[in-house]
Amino acid sequence: MKTVDNYNFKGKKAVVRVDFNVPLDAQFAITDDTRMRAALPTINKILNDGGAVILMSHLGRPKDVFEEKYSLKHIVSHLGNLLGKPIKFATDCIGQPATSAAAALQMGEVLLLENLRFHKQETAGTESFAQELASHGDVYVNDAFGTAHRAHASTTIIARFFPNDKVFGYVMANEVANINKVLNNSEKPVTAVMGGAKVSGKILIIENLLDKINNLIIGGGMAYTFIKAQGGKVGSSLVEEDKLDIALKIVKDAKAKGVNLYIPVDTIVGDAFANEANKQTVDINTIPDGWMGLDIGPATEKIYADVIKNSKTILWNGPMGVFEMSNFEHGTKAMAEAIVAATKLGAYSLIGGGDSVAAINKYHFAEQVSYVSTGGGALLEYIESGSLPGVDAIEKN
């Protein structure tokens, strides 16, 4: 993998795609600067080599024109504090403001360009726009994993203009290396723990994973589609009627590929979708009418935790139940605990994709698993297709 470690930036202006898409409050104060902090090692490597840094990012979802609330000027002073030096700012990412600021930039200095998405050519992936961005510097660095699944001008198309001078930043390199540990260089047994609301968004991921894993654990709302497909009674649980065939296909494919498929054997049901609902534990195949499955039951928890603790590689995506409600979080918390225990026993564990990251943070386990991915959609798409436009743009010519 070509990373900033393999490149000497001395005397070079580096155009660096970062993910500074940070949340701002009504006064434009940054409420969580995790993404900015994540980019500091890459920026500092370039500066320490004796290079200059031109940062480009998107912020929010502007409608292709300038919008005050999405201006990156709001983050300039905080970035300066983090880097311990003044930051130059260009009021546009292309045109005169950007070209003259980039031309005047001295080695050791940092320039931040205004929000890329004030131009519709960014998300359209317009080549001439990418070329204008490329003209600001001598080398391209991509450190924005969260947008690597998009073939945007600044994440993918721009790389064409740097055939020999394009590398990954540390955030990107880390994400790619960690995902490859699960997908390609994994120690067996490999277990995927899949949960969340629906099976529909995860079909391709599950299908692709079947070639790489030994155990597939199913929980969350998607479990009831599997149960109904196999003839069980699911009461008023979440079910995707149009995905029953697909659930059966996954069962069949798992068997054909020798993957042990685990589906809940019991469930905690509520008589309403609410934390205060009446609840009881029932057999998974005989959920009474008027009740819905909101968490995995204790017998399931035990089976799943044992599988996890005997695994050497674990991928977790999606909660086991409605973990936002304290009365239905037990199963999700138990899985998080089992993953932490397995990690202590030497397993490699990767947590990724939206709500499982929220869950691991809720229980303060982020430090006790091997890796928590920062790129929800990008991670899932990487698992689904085995590559990402932003990764290929650097790795392939």
Give the residue numbers annotated as catalytic, written as ranges: 35, 198, 354, 377
Stretch touching ligand AMP by CB under 6 A, among 19-27, 71-79, 190-198, 385-393: 190-198
Q: What angle do CA 59, 103, 145 make, to 5 degrees?
A: 30
Shortest Å distance, C-beta 225 to ligand AMP: 11
DSSP category for residue 372: E
Shortest Å distance, C-beta 322 to ligand AMP: 4
Q: Please state, in angstroms and rounded to a whole number, the distance separating the CA atoms of residues 229 and 244.
A: 5
The 10 Å Cβ neighbour count of residue 245 is: 9
Report if residue 352 touches ligand AMP, rule: CB under 6 A. Answer: no
Q: Which is nearer to ligand AMP, 137 or 319 (CB)?
A: 319
Report if residue 384 touches ligand AMP, rule: CB under 6 A. Answer: no
Closest alpha carbon to 157 in 135, 134, 128, 125? 125
Q: Which is nearer to ligand AMP, 48 or 200 (CB)?
A: 200
Shortest Å distance, C-beta 238 to ligand AMP: 4
Nearest to ligand AMP by Cβ — which residue? 196
Report if residue 272 touches ligand AMP, rule: CB under 6 A. Answer: no
Stretch touching ligand AMP by CB under 6 A, among 43-51, 59-67, 197-205, 274-282: 197-205
Tell me the helices (H) and strands (E) count for the chain, helix number first: 14, 17
Report if residue 342 touches ligand AMP, rule: CB under 6 A. Answer: no
Report if residue 41 touches ligand AMP, rule: CB under 6 A. Answer: no
The 10 Å Cβ neighbour count of residue 329 is: 22
- The CA-atom distances, in angstroms, between 55 and each of 41, 42, 200, 363 are 14, 11, 37, 34
Q: Which is nearer to ligand AMP, 133 or 359 (CB)?
A: 359
Structure tokens at 150: 């998009």
Give the three-class secondary structure for 167.
strand
Q: What are φ and ψ of residue 263, in 5° steps?
A: -120, 145
Selected binder of ligand AMP within 62, 125, 146, 318 (CB under 6 A): 318
Q: Which is nearer to ligand AMP, 121 or 356 (CB)?
A: 356
Report if residue 354 touches ligand AMP, rule: CB under 6 A. Answer: yes
Q: Please state, in angstroms and rounded to a whole number, the distance separating the CA atoms of residues 325 and 319.
A: 12
Selected binder of ligand AMP within 144, 158, 193, 294 (CB under 6 A): 294
DSSP 8-61: --TT-EEEEE------B-TT--BS--HHHHHHHHHHHHHHHHT-EEEEE---S-
Report if residue 169 touches ligand AMP, rule: CB under 6 A. Answer: no
The 10 Å Cβ neighbour count of residue 347 is: 23
Shortest Å distance, C-beta 200 to ligand AMP: 9
Report if residue 329 touches ligand AMP, rule: CB under 6 A. Answer: no
Report if residue 319 touches ligand AMP, rule: CB under 6 A. Answer: yes
Give the three-class secondary structure for 235.
coil
- The CA-atom distances, in angstroms, between 117 and each of 43, 56, 67, 166 are 22, 10, 10, 22
Selected binder of ligand AMP within 266, 355, 381, 384 (CB under 6 A): 355
Residues 218-247 that bind ligand AMP (CB under 6 A): 220-221, 238
Shortest Å distance, C-beta 97 to ligand AMP: 40
Report if residue 198 touches ligand AMP, rule: CB under 6 A. Answer: yes
**b/e per residue 72-98 (b: at least 16 CB within 10 A):** bebbbebbbebbeeebbbbbbbbeeeb
Selected binder of ligand AMP within 264, 293, 375, 390 (CB under 6 A): 293
Q: Which is nearer to ligand AMP, 1 or 325 (CB)?
A: 325
Residues that bind ligand AMP (CB under 6 A): 196-198, 201, 220-221, 238, 293-294, 318-319, 321-322, 324, 354-355
